[in-house]
């Protein structure tokens, strides 16, 4: 095992935060009398996020093996924020459109994961406690992740920014919902910012700086949770509230 820095152990803490966050969102889903599919997808997204950081935690503590490397790549590098983005799809788009995009996303993810599962692995090219797709002998399998991650960027980050813009317009109007709209404006800006952090860190992994991903995941998850809190924050009872959660 290499001399590991504190950053190498961040995935352990990130995993624990993911568990608590996923439980929080799922409880909100259970409280809904109807609808709320977006909350179920967001729960799945945080669970997937946590599985990725769990794999990173395992690799930090016990080292790499082909199974854990491929598992990490599928739930982390390949799927990334796609389930979270799908929650935004269900929130912002019509149900029929959301269903079509869901089917398409599942097909693409499964089709992309199969060659990752099948590719031979050469762990000798990697440090023993840092995962990277560079170990895959079929390097072409890494070409799928940018397409899925672009989908996540468009709907997760783009959806949050679109919502922030809409709530910003409402917040400028002096009315009973202006304070709520300001909260949701702040919340969506935070969600967009938090979603960018793992993406930035993930870009560095292609150059061998996996620790940057760990930092981005940890900071990003905290910012997203803070943004989620602003989005569900209640003001004075009886005030109408824009639907952002």
Residue (of 54, 61, 66, 78) closest to 124 by Cα position: 66
Q: Tokens 């590991």 — which residue?
A: 4
Report the predicted TM-score, pTM, of the whole model to 2 decimal places.
Answer: 0.87
**Per-residue pLDDT at 243:** 47
Helix, strand, coil shares, percent, the chain, to 5: 75, 0, 20
Residue (of 64, 78, 58, 67) closest to 118 by Cα position: 67
**C-alpha torsion sign, points 183, 184, 188, 194:** positive
Domains of the chain (ranges, CATH numbers): 6-232 (1.20.1070.10)
Per-residue pLDDT of the chain (245 residues; tens, 9 = 90+): 556 677 788 999 999 999 999 999 999 998 886 778 999 999 999 999 999 999 999 998 898 999 999 999 999 888 888 999 999 999 999 999 999 999 999 999 999 999 999 999 999 988 888 888 889 999 999 988 888 988 998 999 999 999 888 888 777 775 656 778 888 899 999 999 999 988 787 776 666 667 788 899 999 999 999 999 998 887 554 444 444 44
- As beta bridge partners, residue 136 has 121
């Amino acid at each position: 095992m290499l001399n590991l820095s504190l950053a190498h152990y961040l995935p352990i803490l990130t995993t624990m935060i993911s568990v608590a966050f996923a439980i929080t969102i799922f409880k909100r889903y259970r409280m809904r009398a109807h609808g709320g599919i977006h909350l179920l997808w967001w729960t799945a997204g945080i669970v997937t996020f946590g599985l990725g950081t769990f794999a990173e935690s395992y690799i930090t503590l016990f080292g790499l093996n082909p199974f854990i490397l491929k598992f990490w790549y599928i739930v982390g590098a390949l799927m990334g924020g796609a389930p979270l983005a799908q929650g935004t799809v269900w929130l912002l788009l019509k149900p029929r459109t959301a269903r079509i995009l869901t089917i398409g996303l599942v097909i693409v993810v499964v089709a992309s994961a199969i060659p990752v599962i099948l590719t031979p692995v050469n762990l000798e090219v990697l440090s023993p406690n840092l995962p990277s797709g560079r170990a895959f002998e079929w390097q072409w399998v890494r070409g799928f992740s940018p397409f899925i991650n672009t989908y996540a960027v468009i709907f997760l980050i783009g959806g949050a920014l679109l919502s922030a813009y809409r709530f910003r317009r409402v917040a400028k109007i002096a009315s009973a919902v202006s304070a709520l709209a300001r909260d949701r404006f702040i919340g969506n800006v935070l969600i967009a910012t938090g979603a960018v952090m793992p993406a930035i860190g993930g870009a560095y992994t292609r150059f061998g700086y996996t620790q940057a991903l760990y930092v981005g995941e940890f900071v990003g998850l905290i910012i997203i949770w803070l943004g989620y809190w602003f989005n569900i924050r209640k003001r004075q009872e009886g005030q109408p509230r824009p639907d952002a959660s």
